[in-house]
Structure 1
């Protein structure tokens, strides 16, 4: 009983004594210092990366703005991961935890995970080749894995694509088996205008040409004057005139909307209305008269 009382007394004296609180205070200060140092290193590194890419614009090595944004985000993320990992290891060292066996165990565990998590390895390898081959970059409008949107971030494991309706899609890089990038080359706007048969083709094309020459001044994403291809189709109640125009990358849909709006407005003001479906009705007497007339023409 006395031994238990002595142990309790010693434990209480140790808890209330200055030695324990001195150790706790020293450890807390070390942890705070490590965390602050890690945050400062990450922040300074991000500023240095931004400054490096600004200076790169005047250097001999030139890369596109798309690729620049991708590399900047990737470098910042990698640096943050490395610094935070080192900070965690240093914090464990503050508590006198042997880091050597922990790192060795992490290596063995990582090897085992590497064999088991094949999808993870595939995602990382795919992410490396996406960045290395510059398949797409941050800010590009792409269609991947059945999703269309703007690339917000490219990581080694996942890619974030923001849909035009606001959804953020996070896609493993291993699932990006086919990519359609709309932001690499100029787009092509294709506009089909329906014209009623009562209208003269030459008059309609003249009106379209008058409007087309004014469009590049109104819309800076149009590359050159829209071009009339000609009569594309002959439908039941109208014929179709096709107009095409080169646009800046990713602006082909905006080009179609605005060209269609401008042409329709001008055609309507010129007296050329939209064609409407037609139904021709014949009475029984008229039908018989047409038959007799056709028979007479055949003889």
Structure 2
């Protein structure tokens, strides 16, 4: 018992052992710091390359540039930290060659059970290669709708307008609606009372629409008054459409409504309001008495 205690004490106060431990910890710390610096410098270099490409006469779309930029940054990060992990294991005297050889055999066996992972990676490759959607696009995927924050080889991140981040495996993305590729159409319906002069209201709106394109750069062309869209109980509906830049139709629709409201007020054209007709039974009895009805 005493000899075992003496061995433990000797090891605890073994200066060479503590020197080796300190040296190993220092090496690991240096490896992590250097890896972090390489990742940071590599990302800066990648961004500078894309900035230089932006000045060249041959360019790809900004959407695709943002997607490739994010993808290359992720691949650089994974590669550097994988190399760092292998280096750290070598520092700890782990047989890296044997580990990698064993990992290859195990990976082959696991690969048959990780078909979903392989499917996600292949799907991610084709999403980027075919340019189905890019970072910054507003898309609808399944029940989620939002802006694409990041596209990786395995997952895609979508941010909804309320701030939630939805992470979707690429293999589960089967149908995509991309709202950011083509121009959008703003649709605005204006209700006009029956007792107003409809022709006057149409002329006032037409004159207003003539100058809106110069006022708002989001409009691609002059807004168009289509005419009467529907007939209600106390008013009729005029429909206006305007071609806008991608995803600008909501903003332009709000702008058109405001401009039309101010213009109609200026020309004294009132908005419709609900009318309520009340019948009084007492009034009917008084009328019968007045005319001698029973």
TM-score after normalising by structure 1: 0.87
Unaligned runs of 5+ in 2: 285-294
Per the alignment, in what secondary structure is the counterpart of residue 97 of structure 1? coil
Per the alignment, in what secondary structure is the counterpart of residue 45 of structure 2? helix
Which of 273, 277, 281 is the matching residue for 1:276? Answer: 273
Which of 75, 90, 93 is the matching residue for 2:90? Answer: 93
2:179 alignment partner in structure 1: 182
Q: Post-superposition shift, 1:279?
A: 5.1
Q: Number of residues paired by the alignment?
A: 283
Instruction: Give the whole-Å Cα distance in 2 for the aligned partners of 1:273 and 1:111.
Output: 75
Q: Post-superposition shift, 1:162?
A: 1.1
- Residue pairs, 1:61-80, within 5 angstroms: 61-80=58-77
On the 8 A contact 1:66/1:137 being kept in 2, the answer is yes
Q: Post-superposition shift, 1:69?
A: 1.0
Instruction: Give the whole-Å Cα distance in 1 for the aligned partners of 2:99 and 2:267.
Output: 81
1:151 alignment partner in structure 2: 148
Q: Post-superposition shift, 1:60?
A: 4.8
2:55 alignment partner in structure 1: 58
1:117 alignment partner in structure 2: 114
Q: Post-superposition shift, 1:273?
A: 1.8
On the 8 A contact 1:145/1:175 being kept in 2, the answer is no
Per the alignment, in what secondary structure is the counterpart of residue 153 of structure 2? coil
Q: Post-superposition shift, 1:282?
A: 7.7
- 1:168 matched to 2:165? The reply is yes
Instruction: Give the alignment's Cα RMSD to 1 decimal.
Output: 2.1
Unaligned runs of 5+ in 1: 287-299
Instruction: Give the whole-Å Cα distance in 1 for the aligned partners of 2:263 and 2:49.
Output: 51
Which deviates the most, 232-241 or 144-153?
232-241
Instruction: Give the whole-Å Cα distance in 2 for the aligned partners of 1:33 and 1:99.
Output: 19
- Provide, for residues 122-156 of structure 1, a one-character-per-residue CA deviation record: whole Å limited to 9, x for no partner: 22221111111111111111111211111111111
Which of 186, 197, 200 is the matching residue for 1:200? Answer: 197
Which of 261, 272, 275 is the matching residue for 1:264? Answer: 261
Per the alignment, in what secondary structure is the counterpart of residue 223 of structure 1? coil
4+ long deviations beyond 3 Å: 4-8, 277-286
Instruction: Give the whole-Å Cα distance in 2 for the aligned partners of 1:22 and 1:13.
Output: 14
Per the alignment, in what secondary structure is the counterpart of residue 225 of structure 1? coil
1:297 alignment partner in structure 2: none
Q: Post-superposition shift, 1:217?
A: 3.5
Which of 6, 9, 12 is the matching residue for 2:6? Answer: 9
2:250 alignment partner in structure 1: 253
Instruction: Give the whole-Å Cα distance in 2 for the aligned partners of 1:194 and 1:6.
Output: 99
Per the alignment, in what secondary structure is the counterpart of residue 222 of structure 1? coil
